[in-house]
Amino acid sequence: MKNNSQGGLVYSTETGRMCPACRQPLAQCTCKAAARTATVGDGAVRVSRQTKGRGGKSVTVVKGLPLDAIALALLGKQLRTQCGSGGTVKDGVIEVQGDHVATLMTALTKLGHKPRQAGG
């Protein structure tokens, strides 16, 4: 049998599935809590408009918000609602469909952030 430092207990009949990183039951996993509280972004909020790789359609992008994943998703929902358009939150970046740079700049300023316009 192979002894691997990365391997270990995956399932226990007592507690069920085990986390491979912290070796705790998934219900008591400390890795998920640490990942949830980790903030994404460097604090310099930048708002820009992009069309690259989107078939000519413009998307307004907000980067650098110092928020965790849950707060970022809630802020993204609020910003999309204010603009009246769709969008998504991917890898710590809020994307709103359409050219809404001015709207997002004023909305972020009202929420206490200091956004800067990036790009042209």
pLDDT one-digit tens code per residue, 61-105: 999 998 888 889 999 999 999 999 999 999 889 999 999 999 999
As a whole number of angstroms, the distance between CA 19 and CA 29 comes to 6
Residue 3 resides in a domain: no
How many domains are there within the chain?
Answer: 2
Same domain for 32 and 57, yes or no, is no
Q: What tens digit of pLDDT does each residue of 44-62 get?
A: 899 999 998 888 899 999 9
Strands 46-50 and 59-63, by their bridges, are antiparallel
Statement to judge: residues 29 and 74 lie in one domain: no
Residues 19 and 66 in one domain: no
Distance from CA of residue 65 to its chain's centroid?
9
Instruction: Looking at the structure, tell me whether residues 111 and 64 fall in a common domain.
Output: yes
User: What is the structure's pLDDT at 39?
Assistant: 57
Is 2 inside any structural domain?
Answer: no
Question: Which letter does DSSP use for residue 26 in this model?
Answer: G
Q: Are 104 and 80 in contact (CB under 8 A)?
A: no
Would the pTM count as exceeding 0.75? no
Give the pLDDT band (50/70/90) at residue 2.
very low
Parent domain of 17: 9-38
pLDDT band at 34 (very low <50, low <70, confident <90, very high): low
